[in-house]
A and B are shown apart, each in its own frame.
Chain A
Amino acid sequence: MTYQLTTGDTIQRLTDNAFIPPDPANTDYQAYLAWLDDGNTPEPAPTPEPTPVLTTEQKLEAAGLTVAELKELFNLT
Chain B
Amino acid sequence: MSTLKTTNLQHASAASPAIVLAADGTATAQLSSVNDGAIAGTRNRIINGGMDVWQRGTSTTATGNTYLADRWQSAILSTGGTISQETSSLPTGSRYAWKYVASASNTVGMQMGQQIEYVNCLDLQNTTVSISFMARSVNTNAASTALTVRTRTIAGVDGACMFGGTNSDTAVTLTTTWTRYTVTRTLPATFGSLSLEFAIGSHVSGDGIMLSQVQLEPGSVATPFERRSFGQELALCQRYYQKSYNIDVAPGALTRIGGNGMVAHATSSYMGFGFVTFQSSMRVNPTVTPYNPDTGLTTNPLRNYSASTNGTMAVANIGVFGFSSNANNLSISTNQSAAYHWTASAEL
Contacts and interface: CB of A to CB of B under 8 A. Distances in A.
A63 B266 CA distance: 7
Interface residues of B, number: 34
Contacts, number: 86
Contact of B317 (A9, A17, A28): A9
Chain A contact surface mostly: loop
Contacts of A49: 328-330
A8 B326 CA distance: 10
Range of interface residues on A (Cβ < 8 Å): 20 to 34
B287 A20 contact: yes
Chain B contact surface mostly: loop
A17 B301 contact: yes
Interface string B192-233: 000000000000000000000000000000000000000000
A48 interface: yes
A16 interface: yes
Interface in A1-44: 6-10, 12-13, 16-21, 23, 25-30
Given A49-B328, A52-B329, A21 B286 contact: yes
A73 interface: no
Nearest to B324: A8
A19 B315 contact: yes
A75 interface: no
Contacts of B345: 18, 28
A17 B316 contact: no
Nearest to A54: B268
A26 B160 CA distance: 11
Interface in A41-77: 48-49, 51-54, 58-59, 61-64
Contact of A62 (B319, B335, B346): B335
A28 to B, nearest CB: 4
A73 to B, nearest CB: 18
Contacts of B295: none
B330 A21 contact: no
Contact of B284 (A12, A17, A23, A63): A23
Interface string B257-275: 0000000001111100000
Interface of B: 158, 160, 266-270, 283-290, 298-299, 301, 314-319, 326, 328-330, 334-335, 345-348
